């Protein structure tokens, strides 16, 4: 079972990807993790990717797909995998499709965790983090016992730059421009399934498992 996770930043697709991977005993393949592992291990592909990253450039689609295919060709992926963070654009999806077809393979499901922008802005801008011990909170859903103070170590809680409303809006704009078209792309292929990401995390997961069977 090969699954691609789609959804805006903050929609909760990473959390769902981990839960799917655990339930179906398949690897959760995050492109960020693969890049880091290849660079850390000094692989040829990692060295090539690092050259681009060191210059502040995006790693080209072909190289990203090559690194990804190298990962999914490993033994633990033989029964499937959950792709998280890739593809992000139509050209990436095209390259991935072509390469998988050459291997006699294909993606089975593209799961879109659908959450309206205003929910995401509220969800992400409510996050608070303790930079000292790494504990995370949410002013609505998981508030600290004392406002602005970490329950664990008593340090001051901060709002990360990534979670500030204007940054979230920018990330959502990029998402709608680049990644949203993938929803139509996979819909045309007949493998897109959308779930309501505004529901409780467990309810979203139940909806996904109902689709995957």
Of 13, 71, 123, 128, the catalytic one is: 13
**pLDDT band with cut points at 50, 70 and 90 for residue 55:** confident
Flag whether pLDDT at 2 surpasses 90: yes
Of 71, 88, 123, 128, the catalytic one is: 88
**pLDDT band with cut points at 50, 70 and 90 for residue 18:** very high
| Residue 88 is among the residues annotated as catalytic for this protein | yes
DSSP-derived pairing of the beta strands 28-30 and 109-114 = unpaired
Q: Cα torsion at 82, 58, 165, 153 (round to 10°)? A: 70
**pLDDT band with cut points at 50, 70 and 90 for residue 145:** very high
Of 47, 132, 160, 189, the catalytic one is: 160
| Full-model pTM | 0.83
**pLDDT band with cut points at 50, 70 and 90 for residue 35:** confident
Residue boundaries of the structural domains of the chain: 2-115+169-212
| Residue 13 is among the residues annotated as catalytic for this protein | yes
- Domain 2-115+169-212 in CATH 3.40.50.300? The answer is yes
Flag whether pLDDT at 59 surpasses 90: no
Q: CA neighbours within 13 Å on the CB side: how many for 45?
A: 17
Of 122, 171, 193, 199, the catalytic one is: 171
161-194 confidence digits (pLDDT tens): 889 999 999 989 988 988 889 999 999 999 999 9
Could you give the C-alpha distances from 90 to 97, 102, 161, 181, 202, in angstroms and in order? 10, 18, 29, 7, 30
**pLDDT band with cut points at 50, 70 and 90 for residue 146:** very high
Alpha-carbon span 29 to 36, nearest angstrom: 12
* CB atoms inside a 10 Å sphere around CB 95: 20
| Residue 36 is among the residues annotated as catalytic for this protein | no
Could you give the C-alpha distances from 133 to 31, 93, 125, 147, 160, in angstroms and in order? 26, 38, 20, 17, 14
Here the tokens at position 124 are 């992400």
Torsion sign over Cα 112, 118, 121, 123: negative
Flag whether pLDDT at 31 surpasses 90: no
Which residues 6+ apart lie within 8 Å of 111 measured at CB? 3, 4, 5, 6, 13, 16, 193, 194, 195, 208, 211
Average pLDDT of 32-37?
A: 87
Of 127, 145, 189, 193, the catalytic one is: 127
């Amino acid at each position: 079972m090969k699954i691609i996770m789609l959804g805006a930043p903050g929609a909760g697709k990473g959390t769902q990807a981990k839960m799917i991977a655990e339930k179906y005993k398949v690897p959760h393949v995050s492109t960020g993790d693969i890049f880091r592992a290849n660079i850390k291990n000094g692989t040829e592909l990692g060295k090539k990717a690092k050259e681009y990253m060191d210059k502040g450039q995006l790693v080209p689609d072909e190289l990203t797909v090559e690194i990804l295919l190298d990962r999914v060709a490993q033994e633990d992926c033989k029964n499937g995998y959950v792709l998280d963070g890739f593809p992000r654009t139509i050209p990436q999806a095209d390259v991935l499709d072509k390469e998988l077809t050459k291997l006699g393979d294909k993606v089975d499901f593209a799961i879109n965790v659908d959450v309206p922008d205003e929910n995401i802005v509220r969800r992400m801008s409510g996050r608070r983090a303790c930079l000292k011990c790494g504990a995370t909170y949410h002013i609505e859903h998981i508030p600290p016992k004392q406002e602005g103070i970490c329950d664990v170590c008593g340090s001051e809680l901060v709002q990360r730059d990534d979670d500030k409303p204007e940054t979230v809006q920018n990330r959502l704009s990029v998402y709608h421009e680049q990644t949203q078209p993938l929803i139509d792309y996979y819909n045309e292929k007949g493998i897109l399934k959308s779930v309501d990401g505004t529901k409780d995390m467990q309810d979203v997961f139940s909806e996904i498992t109902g689709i995957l069977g």
